[in-house]
Amino acid sequence: MLRPRTAPDHRKRYNAVAGRSIERVAALSDGVFAVAITLLVLDLHAPALELVHSEADLWHGLLALAPRLLVYVMSFMTLGIFWVGQQTQHNHTARSDRDLSWLHLAFLLAVTLMPFSTTLMAEFIRFRLAVVVYWLNILLLGVLLWFSWRYARHAGLVSGEADTEIACGIERRIIVAQSLYAFGALLCIVDTYLSLGFIALVQLNYVFAPRFGPLARI
């Protein structure tokens, strides 16, 4: 009864008209990034009122927040990098379809997990597992972004202006970045702080995009 003869056709047709607006995907993405970015800051709690009796106490209370602030800035950078990356894809995508919408939804799922991974690493920085979870989150973001671009190209959803060079550039970018993140994660075998430091340097490189010296070649 739930499978009338004509259903497959109707279904095909429904799927052909579902989720076609790349603008809506972009709007939802901006919303999710905005909330995820701001939720991260909820981890920064003001020092407890009863423990602060002098300026010096407050100063020490704020200093104690420094590691969390650093992790916060790092995660902000991560999300910023992926927001710019996703936006670049959107700008070169003419329209969406339901599969591409779902690939971007899966990407947003990985974005919403970032506050959790971040908190975990901030609290358990000395444990390798925390670094691995953080890296897995970054890997998931990269894989889904890479896959959504591959799919968009394959399904003919990319806008005409985006020539092969740009298209390949977007893919290479993701692969190089993920290789560096993976190497950084591997460093946790030596030391978790080293691992975190290396990942932070990679991120700084992508944020500031230096245009000279050896870094410009990465």
Does 197 bind a second copy (CB under 8 A)? Our answer is no
Beta carbons of 184 and 202 less than 8 angstroms apart: yes
In the bound state with a second copy, the residue whose beta carbon lies nearer, of 38 and 197, is 38
73 in contact with a second copy (CB under 8 A) = yes
End-to-end CA distance of the chain: 58
Kindly tell me which residue out of 173, 198, 199, 203 binds a second copy, with binding defined by CB under 8 A: 173
CA-CA distance, 61 to 59, in Å (whole number)?
A: 5
Rounded to the nearest 10 degrees, the angle between the axes of helix 98-123 and helix 22-39 is 10
Nearest to a second copy of 7, 201 (CB atom): 7
Q: Exposed, middle or buried by CB within 10 Å (0-12, 13-18, 19+), for 10?
A: exposed
Give the footprint of a second copy on residues 7-26 (CB under 8 A): 7-8, 10-15, 17-21, 24, 26
Q: Which stretch binds a second copy (CB under 8 A): 108-116, 139-147, 150-158, 195-203?
A: 108-116
190 binds a second copy (CB under 8 A): no
Binding span for a second copy by CB under 8 A among 138-146, 148-156, 163-171, 194-202: 163-171
Q: Which two tokens stand for residue 190?
A: 């030596």
| Interface with a second copy, residue 154, by CB under 8 A | no
Q: Rule CB under 8 A: which of 109-148 touch a second copy?
A: 109, 112-113, 115-116, 119-120, 123-124, 127-130, 133
- Return the closest-CA partner of residue 139 out of 187, 193, 199, 98: 199
